[in-house]
Chain A
């Protein structure tokens, strides 16, 4: 009896601090965000309930639609560059006869460990309209083409998103590469005997077997794109005008610059819903059966 009690006490000692801490710092504030999105609130005085007014105002706000579009573009760029290109590179890296595999893998991963601020500042210089790396490359190859990448209406968000994709390519590459490595060798042997060409073999065998991994990769790439903030904050400050806004940027501006905490909460709440919808869609449409070897 006594040992049963001490077992339960130990259980509380081990679990309660963590559960409590997580609930107070993460879960409770999420509920707060949703609740406060129905209030007019400056963060100091008593909030006053205004129903769906904040959401109605969002739908009327031009910034909101630009933010929504930019979040989707950011997510698209991450998916294509990190998962699309990542898959091709991972397949090439898993070629049996490849030399310097470790060197390649380590090098692709290096940008991941940089701080986002450094990456953004570096790409400001790369995109510099006046002699930056990219415009200089065009000149080097004799192409008279110049572009103000970060301030151009049609290039800004794409340029910012690419710097983000570049930053974290290594994470997705490692995930996809490890998954490919765990596919049993026999599957490929059979295909090689049948004389299947290299890329066809991977299209038919590798990619379908990666669906579990893709699910995870897609969730982090898409939610990462929708949540983007730091890149535009450092590179363009959301501008010129509002052309590089995202929902997080809107939330930041509303709450921490204009003191409209309720309106900012509404933007954050929309962001949660958006991420949730995509996560559910990804889980619904990819890998319905579980794969086991």
Chain B
């Protein structure tokens, strides 16, 4: 009996402690977004606000053009998802299901991007984007985002296409369907779960990405949320409550996306880890 209790405590104890470490900072953030500086740092550091100061939120909306940043982040994220999914689907299909000499070599070539950090190409990329006159358009960030997410998306789609039985295409060919019909009408619908996983993952990536956006976007009208947050910090950094409010607002969408789609996200992660490092 005692032994069982002890082993329970040994499992639940550490699990709960680190649960607190993972979540409490976020709860603390939520609380302090309703406090003023005095409460945050001296009179009431840990607990729920003594007085819920909604004005932090209205102040934040007043000085921080959150709607514009939201819109920019949404356009960039959705654009990145669409282009990544289309390009990676077509390529993975050819690599997994069509017969050609360089199928395997080109797949390995594409997946090598998984291990290339984005910052390494920033300098030439900036020049490239400048030469293509893409700066001050959403494409200045969408283009590099897509290029870097292609590797991840290819790995996932390739694994899914490989797992489908070959009879599908054979019977489609007997029915006289062209390659394009087979691809769009039969194969793409079959990998819908993979498309969902990849879309969510790529969306979160684009929504949160910072460094490339920092270098590529200078026009305030095109700035995404992370850049907006940074701008807010430099302008109003001493008003911690309002700062907290802005952080909470910009975080809510991603937490919602995660809670709705946590299974797909985990699945995508584990499939991608099967690639050889």
Q: Which residues of A contact B (CB under 8 A)?
A: 6-7, 10-11, 13-15, 17-19, 21-22, 24-26, 28-30, 32-33, 36, 43, 85, 88-89, 92-93, 95, 98, 104, 106-118, 121-123, 125-126, 128, 130-133, 136, 140, 166, 169-171, 174-175, 178, 198, 213, 215-217, 219, 223, 227, 229-230, 233-234, 248, 251-252, 255-256, 261, 264-265, 268, 271-272, 275, 279, 282-283
A175 touches B251 (CB 8 A): no
Over the window 109-141 of chain B, the binary record of Cβ atoms lying under 8 Å from chain A Cβ atoms (1 yes, 0 no) is 110010111011111111110000000000000
How many B residues face the partner with a CB closer than 8 A? 87
Which residues of B (36-72) have their CB < 8 Å from a CB of A? 40-42, 45-46
In whole angstroms, what is the CA distance A255 to B42 when docked?
Answer: 42
B22 — which chain A residues lie within 8 A by C-beta? 107-108, 110-111, 166, 169-170
Q: Which residues of B contact A (CB under 8 A)?
A: 7, 11, 14-15, 18-19, 21-23, 25-26, 28-29, 32, 40-42, 45-46, 87-88, 90-91, 93-95, 98, 100, 106, 109-110, 113, 115-117, 119-128, 143-144, 146-148, 150-151, 154, 178-180, 183, 204, 207-208, 210-211, 215, 225-226, 229-230, 233, 240, 243-244, 247, 250-251, 254-255, 257-259, 262, 265-266, 269-270, 273, 275, 277
A171 — which chain B residues lie within 8 A by C-beta? 269
B250 — which chain A residues lie within 8 A by C-beta? 115, 118
B204 touches A113 (CB 8 A): yes
What is the minimal beta-carbon distance from A285 to any residue of chain B, in angstroms? 12
What is the minimal beta-carbon distance from B27 to any residue of chain A, in angstroms? 11
A10 touches B179 (CB 8 A): yes
What is the minimal beta-carbon distance from A6 to any residue of chain B, in angstroms? 8
A133 touches B119 (CB 8 A): no
A92 touches B11 (CB 8 A): yes
With both beta carbons as reference points, the residue of chain A lying nearest to B130 in the complex is identified as A43
By CB atoms of chain A within 10 A, which of B19, B23, B87, B277 has the most?
B277
What is the minimal beta-carbon distance from A188 to any residue of chain B, in angstroms? 15
A271 touches B120 (CB 8 A): yes
A14 touches B269 (CB 8 A): no
B32 touches A125 (CB 8 A): yes
Sorted from nearest, which 5 A-B pairs have the closest CB atoms? Answer: A131-B41, A25-B147, A29-B121, A32-B124, A29-B124
Some 14 contacts from A to B, beta carbons below 8 A apart, are A7-B98, A15-B95, A17-B90, A18-B91, A32-B121, A113-B255, A115-B229, A125-B29, A131-B41, A140-B46, A175-B270, A175-B273, A230-B211, A251-B122
What is the minimal beta-carbon distance from B139 to any residue of chain A, in angstroms? 11
B277 touches A104 (CB 8 A): no
What is the minimal beta-carbon distance from B162 to any residue of chain A, in angstroms? 16
For the complex with contacts A28-B124, A29-B128, A122-B26, 12 further pairs of A-B residues with Cβ separation under 8 Å are: A14-B91, A19-B110, A24-B128, A109-B258, A111-B26, A114-B255, A117-B230, A121-B243, A175-B273, A252-B122, A268-B119, A271-B119
B254 touches A125 (CB 8 A): no
With both beta carbons as reference points, the residue of chain B lying nearest to A7 in the complex is identified as B179
- Set A131, A170, A251, A261: member contacting B42, Cβ < 8 A: A131
B229 touches A121 (CB 8 A): yes
B233 — which chain A residues lie within 8 A by C-beta? 121, 234
In whole angstroms, what is the CA distance A38 to B196 when docked?
Answer: 44
In whole angstroms, what is the CA distance A194 to B98 when docked?
Answer: 51
A104 — which chain B residues lie within 8 A by C-beta? 15, 19
- Set B18, B19, B115, B179: member contacting A223, Cβ < 8 A: B115
B226 — which chain A residues lie within 8 A by C-beta? 115-118
What is the minimal beta-carbon distance from A286 to any residue of chain B, in angstroms? 9
A219 touches B15 (CB 8 A): no
Known: A32-B124, A107-B22, A283-B277. A223 touches B117 (CB 8 A): yes
What is the minimal beta-carbon distance from B108 to any residue of chain A, in angstroms? 12
B254 — which chain A residues lie within 8 A by C-beta? 113-115
B147 — which chain A residues lie within 8 A by C-beta? 21-22, 25-26
By CB atoms of chain B within 10 A, which of A115, A130, A174, A272 has the most?
A115
A128 — which chain B residues lie within 8 A by C-beta? 41
With both beta carbons as reference points, the residue of chain B lying nearest to A227 in the complex is identified as B117
B7 touches A219 (CB 8 A): no
In whole angstroms, what is the CA distance A17 to B88 when docked?
Answer: 10
A33 — which chain B residues lie within 8 A by C-beta? 120-121, 123-124
B225 — which chain A residues lie within 8 A by C-beta? 115
A275 touches B123 (CB 8 A): no
B87 touches A122 (CB 8 A): no
In whole angstroms, what is the CA distance A36 to B179 when docked?
Answer: 44
B106 touches A230 (CB 8 A): no
In whole angstroms, what is the CA distance A229 to B150 when docked?
Answer: 23
In whole angstroms, what is the CA distance A234 to B7 when docked?
Answer: 42
A108 touches B115 (CB 8 A): no
